[in-house]
Amino acid sequence: MESINTSLKNWMKENKDFQKKHEDLTEQVLNHPSVVALKENYPHVTNAQLKKQLITLYEYQQQSILCEDCPSYDQCKNVLKGYSPILEMHNERIHIAYEECPQKREYDHHRKQHELIQRLHMPRDVMNATFDSLEKDVGRREAIQSTVHFIQALKEGLPTKGIFFSGKFGVGKTYFLGVLANELQEYNYSSMLIYMPEFVRSIRDAIKDNSVNEKVNAFKDIDVLMFDDIGAETMSAWFRDEILGSILQHRMVEGLPVFFTSNYTMRQLEEQLSTSTRGDVEQIKAQRIMERIRQTSTEVIITGENRRHR
């Protein structure tokens, strides 16, 4: 067992170490640029007053100020994630206020931009499509020019007509939709990309839970609607007229653009749409749908090799 004298000597040594550490920390805190700036803004504040609020000053200095110590929003180290601390004086007391930091603003911007794009059964790689990664060969020249014209027109407002990309399987029609969707978000326009065969099936399922109107209304007013692979699946007369026809009629009247991709030309698609799942041929109703398609989009043919077999 230690003698009383030994214990007393150890306590005094440890106490001196503590005092030294406390003095060093106090000096470090009071000489921090933020505290120096605070004293310049409030010259009547004394060091004695500041020493009484060392805990508050230390808490402030341990955080990342203007993201200087945070590599990203997700790795924010501050008490309030995404908010940078500010020192303020109120009634001779120091307070820590918080303001939204640059990284949070950037994070929120990207999240908002991402939310502008909705997709229904579309490939993930299409959602990452960029204009720079688009192969610019002869067979795509007209499609690229039309896409560029549409994007340039966004500076003046949303055009009333989209593009009907037609061409053989694998020439990259769907990729153009991804490029357009990502360009649209830069102008704060929302878009919805729909893989048509899955859309037909989802509407069939919606009949069971009575949510058809809810789904259809969501497609009517989105800024830019995109149907991928229209004509790939034979539609029922009800779907063609009451679902697709209703959506296109609304967008035609409201002047909202629609984009399409199809393995058929517009003329060939009209023939495809004229035959229902029951085998009935209804040419007039197919012509009515095609008229709405022509009013909301302009046909552009893409040629070239099948890129999926490379």
The domain locations on the chain are 4-104, 116-309
Locate 2 and state its tokens. Answer: 């230690």
pLDDT at 207: 84
pLDDT at 71: 80
pLDDT at 236: 86
Angle at the Cα of 89 from the Cα atoms of 84 and 25, rounded to 5 degrees: 70
Reported for 285-289, long-range contacts at CB under 8 A and 24+ positions apart, including other chains, are: 285/237, 285/240, 285/241, 286/240, 288/245, 289/240, 289/241, 289/244, 289/245, 289/248
Residues lower than pLDDT 70 in the chain: 1-16, 18, 107-123, 307-310
Q: Model pTM?
A: 0.65
Residue 261 · residue 165 · CB < 8 Å: yes
pLDDT at 110: 56
Distance CA 244, CA 252 (A): 12
3-state secondary structure of 169: coil
Work out whether strand 191-195 and strand 117-120 pair parallel, antiparallel, or are unpaired: parallel
pLDDT at 13: 61
3-state secondary structure of 81: coil
Distance CA 61, CA 33 (A): 10
pLDDT at 34: 82
pLDDT at 119: 65
Closest CA to 121 of 197, 70, 68, 69: 197
Distance CA 303, CA 140 (A): 7
Task: Look at domain 116-309 and name its CATH class.
Answer: alpha beta
| Chain centre distance of CA 149 | 23
Is residue 305 within a helix (H) or strand (E), and if so which, with residue range? none
Locate 137 and state its tokens. Answer: 């060969």
Locate 206 and state its tokens. Answer: 């919606």
List beta partners, residue 165.
261, 300
pLDDT at 304: 83
Name residue, tokens 């929120």.
108
**Residue 304 phi, psi (nearest 5):** 130, -175
Distance CA 263, CA 173 (A): 9
pLDDT at 116: 47
List beta partners, residue 275.
281
